């Protein structure tokens, strides 16, 4: 057992022994299907805190020759796979973390340091095959000789594969040298049984310089066969909430929102685990990364970017063209490139079916709010700060003050969105009641009765009793007609399981009235 060559199973054993362990060994069944096929080159990118390193430790424990991992996988999902025993501990595994080599290289390059360290272990294990000048060969040539002599193939597991792209952003020559090194090591080499690399970014694009074009990419824009293993599924979170006596709807409100084609509800695993251990729902994102990282990208001067951020903070989805992104952290040509990076970083969710991005949950919305609070977003922060008072005025039924508050919010939002209609009013409403999200689940276009209510606020469980709110918006009509639409279309029918007070809020923005552009009527219902 070595440090890089066949590192053993202790990392995975620690995970299994932990207080909270969620079985993701089914990932190995997916990779088993790809071994020794044309699809054996896999690049799986996910945000930080999404279990990338733990997945690699599991794969290392499963594949590494020289250790017996049978008992670790007993009762796990992979044990039910037909190929479980065929691949268990049958391969030489080379497992490296590029972050460690980048830090430890000192006077050498990271790739030179990697070659030196891995070659040393290969010489210890296969010295008899590498006599004479073979000992002076590079890593790729050495692996070829080993394969030629023994017929043994290798599985490559590379963690933080993209750290040089992320942390040496301006050193393009270094990046190209690194990509060429990986290409020479892996592409079309007979000794490769499987190459699984993981990081935050997909494979770097360099125009015609396609050093790693043999990799199949599985990213936050499309995880494909790896969707289930990207984060925690809804069922897994339900089971954890039951085990730790935590409210599932609160967990969903805080950490759900990453959406794929088959799995529509994927949760941030690290935050869920932290919430279960601490026995409280909170923002655990900031414990591993500061909001300044987000602010850098939010403040980039691309036409339409600020507008899209405001719309998403207001609960809307925005269209994003993801294919132009160069998969690095400095080549930005349009706002879509910036938004695509935020998807890969986990700050935005992405719906591949509609091609739309959105802020996934309460935890991430808090990160956007923190980033806005340090300057440059004064208009929006003024709205957010006033939102608690507006909610109190709404609950009191103060129609005049509510109309004034919504007028101010709409004026500020419309100046950023560059349009002034019912859509901008809906966004303004969502931001004007931003503080309500600590006690409410806000739903835009809520299906109810014979249509969709514009905005519905549903009280969250385990909060102080509060009324539900059904808000209908009209543009250049009347607040009374908005309220009448709530009644005529029976919007409250969707709240049939809700008991208690319901506030019906009709809002109108009168286009031609300069003195009082907004009007509001609030009506109270009570359901026993």
| 345 SS3 class | helix
The predicted structure's pLDDT at residue 515 = 58
In DSSP terms, which residues pair with 508 in a beta bridge?
A: 474, 519
DSSP structure string for 117-184: HHHHHHHHHHGGGS-GGGGGS-HHHHHHHHHHHH---EEEEEESTTHHHHHSTT-HHHHHHHHHHHHH
The whole-angstrom separation of Cα 30 and Cα 62 is 13
The whole-angstrom separation of Cα 272 and Cα 483 is 40
Asked if residue 372 lies in contact with residue 299, where contact means CB atoms within 8 angstroms, the answer is no
pLDDT of 312 over the 90 cut: yes
Asked if residue 61 lies in contact with residue 89, where contact means CB atoms within 8 angstroms, the answer is no
Tell me the per-residue pLDDT of 241-276, one tens digit each, with 9 for 90 and over.
Answer: 999 999 999 999 999 999 999 999 999 999 999 999
Task: List Cβ neighbours of 507 (8 Å cut-off, separation of 6 or more).
Answer: 403, 406, 425, 429, 471, 472, 473, 474, 479, 482, 518, 519, 520
User: Please, what are the domains in the chain?
Assistant: 10-218 (3.40.50), 232-372 (no CATH), 386-527 (no CATH)
Tell me the per-residue pLDDT of 488-513, one tens digit each, with 9 for 90 and over.
Answer: 887 777 777 777 889 999 998 876 54
DSSP state of 77: G
Tell me the per-residue pLDDT of 122-164, one tens digit each, with 9 for 90 and over.
Answer: 999 998 887 655 556 889 999 999 999 999 999 999 999 999 9
Q: Which residue has the tokens 């207080």?
A: 19
When pLDDT is cut at 50, 70 and 90, the band that residue 287 belongs to is low
In DSSP terms, which residues pair with 337 in a beta bridge?
A: none
Tell me the per-residue pLDDT of 56-66, one tens digit each, with 9 for 90 and over.
Answer: 999 999 999 98
* End-to-end CA separation in angstroms for the chain: 68
Asked if residue 194 lies in contact with residue 31, where contact means CB atoms within 8 angstroms, the answer is yes
Q: Give me the phi and psi of 313, to 5 degrees please.
A: -65, -30
Q: What is the CA radius of gyration of the chain?
A: 27
The whole-angstrom separation of Cα 449 and Cα 23 is 41
When pLDDT is cut at 50, 70 and 90, the band that residue 73 belongs to is very high
CA distances for 220 relative to 22, 162, 342, angstroms: 21, 15, 10
pLDDT of 285 over the 80 cut: yes
The predicted model scores a pTM of 0.91
The predicted structure's pLDDT at residue 418 = 65
């Amino acid at each position: 057992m070595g440090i890089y060559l066949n590192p053993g199973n202790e990392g995975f054993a620690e995970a299994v022994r932990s207080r909270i362990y969620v079985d993701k060994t089914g990932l190995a069944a997916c990779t088993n299907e790809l071994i020794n096929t044309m699809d054996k080159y896999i690049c799986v990118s996910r945000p930080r805190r999404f279990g990338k390193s733990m997945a690699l430790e599991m794969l290392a424990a499963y594949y590494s020759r020289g250790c017996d991992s049978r008992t670790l996988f007993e009762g796990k999902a992979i044990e039910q796979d037909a190929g479980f025993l065929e691949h268990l501990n049958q391969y030489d595994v080379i497992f490296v973390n590029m972050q460690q080599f980048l830090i430890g290289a000192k006077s050498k390059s990271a790739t030179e340091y990697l070659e030196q360290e891995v070659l040393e272990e290969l010489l210890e294990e296969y010295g008899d095959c590498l006599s004479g000048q073979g000992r002076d060969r590079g890593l790729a040539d050495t692996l070829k000789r080993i394969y030629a002599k023994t017929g043994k193939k290798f599985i490559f597991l590379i963690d933080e594969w993209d750290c040089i792209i992320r942390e040496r952003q301006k050193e393009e020559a270094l990046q190209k040298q690194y990509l060429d090194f990986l290409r020479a090591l892996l592409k079309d080499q007979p000794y490769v049984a499987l190459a699984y690399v993981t990081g935050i970014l997909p494979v770097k694009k360099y125009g015609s310089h396609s050093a790693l074009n043999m990799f199949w990419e599985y990213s936050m824009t499309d995880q494909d066969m790896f969707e289930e293993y990207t984060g925690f599924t809804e069922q897994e979170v339900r089971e954890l909430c039951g085990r730790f006596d935590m409210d599932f709807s609160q967990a969903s409100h805080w950490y759900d929102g990453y959406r794929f084609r088959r799995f529509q509800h994927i949760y941030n695993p690290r935050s869920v685990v932290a919430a279960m251990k601490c026995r409280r729902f909170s923002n655990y994102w900031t414990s591993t990364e500061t909001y300044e990282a987000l602010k850098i990208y939010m403040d980039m001067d691309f036409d339409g970017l600020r507008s899209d951020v405001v719309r998403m903070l207001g609960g809307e989805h925005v269209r994003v063209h993801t294919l132009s992104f160069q998969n690095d952290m400095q080549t930005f040509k349009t706002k879509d490139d910036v938004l695509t990076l935020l998807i890969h970083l986990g700050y935005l969710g992405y719906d591949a079916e509609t091609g739309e991005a959105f802020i996934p949950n309460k935890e991430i919305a808090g990160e956007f709010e923190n980033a806005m609070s340090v300057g440059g977003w004064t208009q929006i922060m003024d709205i957010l700060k006033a939102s608690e008072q507006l909610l109190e005025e709404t609950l009191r039924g103060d129609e005049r003050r509510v109309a004034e508050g919504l007028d101010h919010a709409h004026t500020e939002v419309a100046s950023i969105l560059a349009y002034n209609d019912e859509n901008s009013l809906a966004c303004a409403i969502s931001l004007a009641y931003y503080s309500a999200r600590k006690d409410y689940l806000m739903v835009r276009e809520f299906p109810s009765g014979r249509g969709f209510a514009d905005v519905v606020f549903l009280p969250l469980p385990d909060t102080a009793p509060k009324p539900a709110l059904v808000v209908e918006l009209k543009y250049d009509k009347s607040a009374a007609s908005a309220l009448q639409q709530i009644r005529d279309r029976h919007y409250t029918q969707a709240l049939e399981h809700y008991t208690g007070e319901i506030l019906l809020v009709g809002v109108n923005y009168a286009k031609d009235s300069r003195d009082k552009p907004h009007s509001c009527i609030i009506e109270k219902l009570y359901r026993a």
